[in-house]
Copies of this chain bind each other. A is one copy, B any other.
Amino acid sequence: MSKYEVAEPHVLGPEVVVPCCPPIAAGELSVPDAKRMAVMFKALSDPVRLRLFSKVASHPAGEACVCDIMDVGVSQPTVSHHLKKLREAGLLTSERRGTWVYYRVAPSVVAAMSAMLDLRPAAAGS
């Protein structure tokens, strides 16, 4: 698996990994790659989603119950909606245990997003 493989949102679900995407400075993005990347960046384009994402990413246990992270000033259904968007974009994975759903960051997807923003020309072939 190359370092540019991340989850394909919507089509395959967050657990299935397909090739995506080259560093943004490596050349002109293809239309399909641009569409895939836009979905991931869109997931982080909302301040409440970013705060929820950071709460999961920084949680000591490496995962967070929705009950741990819902103090972001919006209703529980809104929290659930935002967590669903993050999951659909492949940035979080989730698992139901008993009453609650537990969330984890998908580290390979987030690392791939970080690599996409690598501006060094050599990164394209490394």
Q: Does A114 contact B (CB under 8 A)?
A: yes
Query: From residue A125, how far is it (CB to closest CB) to chain B in Å?
Result: 13
In the complex this chain forms, how many copies of it are found?
2
Q: Which residues of B contact A18 (CB under 8 A)?
A: none
Q: Which residues of B contact A29 (CB under 8 A)?
A: 50-51, 54
Q: List 7 A-B contacts (CB under 8 A).
A: A25-B57, A25-B58, A26-B58, A28-B51, A34-B51, A38-B44, A38-B47
B38 touches A46 (CB 8 A): yes
Q: How many interface residues does A have (CB within 8 Å)?
A: 36
A24 touches B57 (CB 8 A): yes
Q: Which residues of B contact A20 (CB under 8 A)?
A: none
Q: Does A13 contact B (CB under 8 A)?
A: no
Query: From residue A38, how far is it (CB to closest CB) to chain B in Å?
Result: 4
Q: Which residues of B contact A35 (CB under 8 A)?
A: 47
